[in-house]
Amino acid sequence: MADDEKKLLLVEDSDDHAELTEFYINDCRPALRVRRLRDGAEAMAYIEQAERLEQRLPWLVLLDLKLPKYDGHEILARMKRSGRLASIPVVIFSTSNSGKDIEQAMSSHANSYIVKPMEADKYGEVISEILEYWELNEHHHLLREPRESHA
Amino acid sequence: MAVTDFLLRTVGLKKRIALGYIVTGLVAFMIALLSYGAFTRLAEDFRQIVHFSRHSADNMAFARQMTEMQRQALIYIYEGHSSAGTQVGTIYKQMMDSILSSQDLDRIGAGAVVELARRHLEAYYEAFREVQRQRQLQDRLVRSEFRVHATRAQQLIEELTRQEAAQPETPGLRPPLPENSFLSFIPAAAPAGQGGARPASEQGYTEAERMLNGAKMLASLLQIEKNAYRYFDSYESSFIQAATASLEDTRERLQTFDGQDKAAELKEVLERYEITFLEAVQRTRGYLYLINVVMSAQAYETIYQSNKLSAMMLHETGRIQQEVFAHISSRQQLLLFSTALLLLFIALFSYLISRSITLPLRRLTETFKLLSSGSADAEIPPYLLQDELGDLTGSAASFKGKNIELLASKKELERSNDELEQFVYTVSHDLKSPIVTSMGFIGIIRKLAAQGKAEQAMGMLEKVVKANERMSQLINDLLELSRVGRIDMDKKLVDLNALLADFARSQAERLKAATFTLIIQPNLPSLFANESRILQVFENILSNALKYVRNETEGCRLEINSYDDAQLHHILCADNGPGIAAEYRDKVFGLFYRLNVNIEGTGIGLAVAKKIMKFHSGDISAEARPGGGAVFHLTFPRAEAGQS
């Protein structure tokens, strides 16, 4: 699958953080399309739509926890309960490093939990590592399930 | 138990204890009283026995006295001791006295018997008196008349004999006289009776014959007297015959002297002598009859009645004894039974009293145990009286109150701990966010700078500045939030009309710029509150409205209105903006919570408003406005209620 066909779902309320994330994604994977959702309500609406329609599902979800209306935990739980979207890897990307948040996210089957870095230059590194990791994981996934890729 | 409950409800602790002692004392007194009664009764019975014993003794003495009296009477009669007669009188008096003094024998029905005994005794004594009289008469007859006649007879005979001797024809008569006189002392009745004096009366007696007869007459006379005295001594009736025979003999011999004056007189004297003797005999026989028949019979009757009385008294004594024994045993039983009953009562009563003390104490102990373990719902046992236990119950109640307060404050503490944790969590997240932004953009700037894109890099610098500004804004807001309830929170009565009028004036510029209408209805209440903080609440609500309300058709508007109910002042701030969906109406008051991230703000304004309202014991909530828009609903406790 080429990068230009892949889509990353970014759920982020802060415009600044969204801009940063998009900048660094564009920096290392210019072909990767990013779909941004601003709050919990938009994310819920997206999930419900994705369940109903035969649209292309995102390859990866970057999910912030502290969101207006519905928070990240609620969205994560909703996604992992959904038959069609449960298999999409969800990376929690939040400023929170509290044990409670991590625990809750893991118990809701988050695929990864990354704390937003507070050091200069680190933000880009973290983004590229996330992408690299899940690209690698995807290849394993393809090897294991070849028929899925042809479809 | 009902009695215990009654005691607990009505009698105080001290009184209960005192009551216990009093009742015990009363019961002890009752026991003593019962014992006293029983002993009194016994003593009375005993007295009655003693009384009867005395009567018995008296009665025995009576019988004895009767016998003694009879003996004395007999002594008096037969021996002639007059002292014995006096003795009889004395004894009689004593006996009558003892009869009179025992009137209470009537009670046992012995009155008739006693009366009979008395009557017989009286009859006896009457007879005795008669005897005395007769005896005195006899005595007089014997001692004086009889003697007089005898002496006269002797004189006459001697005179007769002397006459014969004085006559010449009879000179030789004298010598045999002493011989004959001497002879007359041998038992002469029979020979005298045999003496053939009869022919002498018919024929002319010789002088010698007459002399002899005279001597014999004297002898007979002596014989008569001797026999008479013998009779009076021995009461042998043969002596009477002998005396009579001698008298006859004397009379016969007297015929020898017929025709002489002295003889006729002698005859007459003899006649009287006989009469006197016979009368004396008659008297003697009379009193002998009295003493032997009448007095004996009366004595016998008296003794019989006395014995009868004895028997009755014996019977009565037996009856009393039996009664006394019955009494003793019944008293014993009664005393034993009532003492046991009273002791049982004391035991029961003591149990009740002690229970009325221990029961509430035990309940209180249970309660205190629970309370000391921190229980706030331990049941305080009901206790209505204001005594020591009542105080203790009061203490338990206040202990419970303290526990409840403690529990509440513990809950409050836990809640505020949770709040603090949440606050720290939220604050750390929201403070980190601008740092992440700054650092992220700094990274981009470095990258762009390295690529030589200085222009672009400079543009990014603005982002860093914004992020830092936001950070400082957050910190300021946080400081403001922390001041609420801590600094400058003096309350006073605030006229909301005046306050909001000032507020509208101060905001006029800002409102005009935003083409926003602020409507403040009149008749708003006055509140006991901190003026500047209340103003802050309205500022925050207005700021919120200015940010969120976009109404092209009606024009943006915020309307402040109020109404009161029994407990609260209600102030409604209604806008005509997009409104707040039901699920976010609580969340909007959370720290750093923003419904729209693209509208500037730190998400702290409503959190501050909430905190201020809580500080005023009021609240703020978000509601939907009919026809669209949001309503911020403020409640204050009414001043009267709040101050009281």
pLDDT tens for B527-582 read 888 888 899 899 999 988 888 888 888 888 899 999 998 889 999 999 988 888 88
Q: What percent of chain B has pLDDT over 70?
A: 91
DSSP string, B478-532: HHHHHHTTTSS---EEEEHHHHHHHHHHHHHHHHHHTTEEEEE-S-PPEEEE-HH
Q: What would the pLDDT profile of B176-211 be if each residue is shown by its tens digit? A: 444 444 444 444 444 444 444 444 444 456 777 777
Matching CATH number, B486-643, of 3.40.50.10860, 3.30.565.10, 1.10.3720.10, 3.30.465.10 = 3.30.565.10
| A39 contacts in chain B (CB < 8 Å) | 596-597
What whole-number distance in Å separates Cα of residue A98 and Cα of residue A149?
38
pLDDT digits (tens, 9 = 90+) for B353-373: 888 888 888 888 888 888 888
Number of DSSP helices (H) and strands (E) in chain B, helices first: 18, 7
Strand partners, B408: none
Q: Do A116 and B597 touch (CB under 8 A)?
A: no
- % of chain A with per-residue pLDDT over 90: 25
User: B488: distance to nearest CA of chain A, Å?
Assistant: 33
B100 pLDDT exceeds 60? yes
Is B425–A120 a contact, with Cβ atoms under 8 angstroms apart?
Answer: no
Per-residue pLDDT band at A146 (split at 50, 70, 90): very low
Residue with more model confidence, A93 or B554: A93
Angle between helices A99-107 and A72-81 (to 10 degrees): 10
Q: Would you call B440 and A123 a contact, using CB atoms and an 8 Å cutoff?
A: yes
Q: What is the DSSP letter of B293?
A: I
Q: Taking residues B595-611, report their average pLDDT.
A: 80
Inter-chain residue contact B433 with A95, CB threshold 8 Å: yes
pLDDT digits (tens, 9 = 90+) for B456-505: 888 888 889 988 988 898 888 888 888 877 776 788 888 999 999 989 98
**With contacts defined as CB-CB under 8 Å, which chain B residues touch A13?**
597
Measured between CB atoms, does A5 come within 8 Å of chain B? no
Residue B520 CA: distances (Å) to CA of B510, B532, B559: 16, 18, 6
Looking at chain B, which residue has its C-alpha nearest residue A96?
Answer: B429
The burial class, CB within 10 Å (0-12 / 13-18 / 19+), for B7 is buried
Q: In chain B, what residues touch A124 (CB-CB under 8 Å)?
A: 443-444, 447
Q: Helix/strand/coil (H, E, C) string of B381-411?
A: CCCCCCCHHHHHHHHHHHHHHHHHHHHHHHH
Burial label, B487 (beta-carbon count in 10 A; 0-12, 13-18, 19+): exposed
pLDDT of B432 strictly over 70? yes
The three-class DSSP label of residue B442 is helix
Least confident span in A137-151, B96-110, B548-562: A137-151
Helix, strand or coil, per DSSP, at residue B534: helix
Confidence band of A113 (pLDDT split at 50, 70, 90):
very high
- In chain B, list all ranges with CATH 1.10.287.130: 386-483
In 3D space, the residue among B167, B65, B171, B82 whose CA is nearest the CA of residue B121 turns out to be: B65
- Which one is the CATH code of A3-150: 2.60.40.150, 1.20.58.100, 3.40.50.2300, 1.10.1040.10? 3.40.50.2300
Contact of A145 with chain B, judged by CB distance below 8 Å, is answered with no
pLDDT over 60 at A142, yes or no: no
- Please choose, from the candidates B361, B415, B366, the residue with its C-alpha nearest in 3D space to the C-alpha of residue B390: B361
Q: Is A97 exposed, middle or buried (0-12, 13-18, 19+ CB in 10 A)?
A: middle
Q: Any chain A CB within 8 A of the CB of B449?
A: no
Query: Would you put residue B526 in left (φ > 0), alpha (ψ -120 to 50) or beta?
Result: beta
> What's the whole-number average pLDDT of chain A?
84
Q: How far is A134 from chain B (nearest CA, A)?
A: 22
What's the Cα-to-Cα distance from B337 to each of B167, B317, B334, B341, B410, rounded to whole Å?
119, 29, 5, 6, 65
Question: Nearest-5° angle of CA B30, CA B32, CA B38?
Answer: 105
pTM equals 0.49
Q: How many other β-carbons are positioned within 10 Å of the β-carbon of residue B358?
A: 11
Give me chain B's average pLDDT, please. 81
Q: How confident is the model at residue B102 (pLDDT cuts 50, 70, 90)?
A: low
pLDDT > 50? residue B104: yes
pLDDT tier, B168 (very low <50, low <70, confident <90, very high otherwise): low
DSSP string, B132-163: HHHHHHHHHIIIIIIHHHHHHHHHHHHHHHHH
Q: What is the CATH number of domain B386-483?
A: 1.10.287.130
Burial B402-425 (b: 16+ CB within 10 A, else e): ebeeeeeeeeeeeeeeeeeeebeb
- Using DSSP, state whether A114 is helix, strand or coil: strand
Answer yes or no: are the C-beta atoms of B16 and B4 closer than 8 Å.
no
Residue B103: the pLDDT is 55
Percent helix, strand and coil across chain B, each to the nearest 5: 75, 5, 15
A10: phi then psi, degrees, rounded to nearest 5: -110, 115
The answer, yes or no, to whether residue B296 has pLDDT greater than 50, is: yes
Phi then psi for residue B488, to 5 deg, are 55, 60
Looking at the DSSP assignment, which residues form a beta bridge with residue B528? B493
Name all contacts of B171-177 with Cβ < 8 Å and 24+ positions apart. Answer: B172/B208, B173/B207, B173/B208, B173/B210, B173/B211, B174/B211, B176/B208, B176/B211, B176/B212, B176/B215, B177/B211, B177/B215
Question: Is 90 exceeded by the pLDDT of residue A10?
Answer: yes
How far is B227 from B232, CA to CA, in rounded Å? 9
Chain A residues 88-127 within an 8 A CB cutoff of chain B = 94-96, 98, 100, 116-124
pLDDT at A139: 67
Which one of B439, B593, B595 has the shortest CB-CB distance to A118?
A: B439
SS3 B590: coil
* B246/B227 Cα distance (integer angstroms): 9
Q: What is the ipTM of this complex?
A: 0.86
User: Which pLDDT does position B143 carry in this prediction?
Assistant: 78
Cα angle value B3/B4/B10 (rounded, 5°): 90
Query: By 3-state DSSP, what share of chain A in percent is helix, strand and coil, each rounded to 5?
Result: 50, 15, 35
Tokens of B568: 């609260």
B443: nearest CA in chain A? A121
CB of A19 less than 8 A from some CB of B? yes
What's the pLDDT at B204? 59
pLDDT of residue A76: 92
Distance, CA of B472 to CA of B478 (rounded, Å)? 10
* Cβ(B231)–Cβ(B237) below 8 Å: yes
- Distance between CA atoms of residues B522 and B501, nearest Å: 10
Which residue do the tokens 């909430």 mark?
B610
Query: Which tokens hold the place of B530?
Result: 């901190």
Q: For residue range A46-87, list pLDDT tens digits in order.
A: 888 888 887 788 889 999 988 888 889 999 999 888 888 888
Residue A66 has its nearest CB partner, among B429, B441, B442, at: B429
Which among B614, B629, B469 is positioned nearest to B559, based on CA atoms?
A: B629
Residue B281 to residue B228: CA distance in whole angstroms: 9
Q: Which of B435, B584, B594 sits opposite A118 (nearest CB)?
A: B435
Determine whether the interchain pair A121/B446 forms a contact, defined as Cβ–Cβ distance below 8 Å. Answer: yes
pLDDT band with cut points at 50, 70 and 90 for residue B1:
low
Q: How confident is the model at residue B173 (pLDDT cuts 50, 70, 90)?
A: very low
Residues of chain B with CATH 3.30.565.10: 486-643
CA B546 vs CA B575, B590, B593: distances in Å: 10, 20, 17
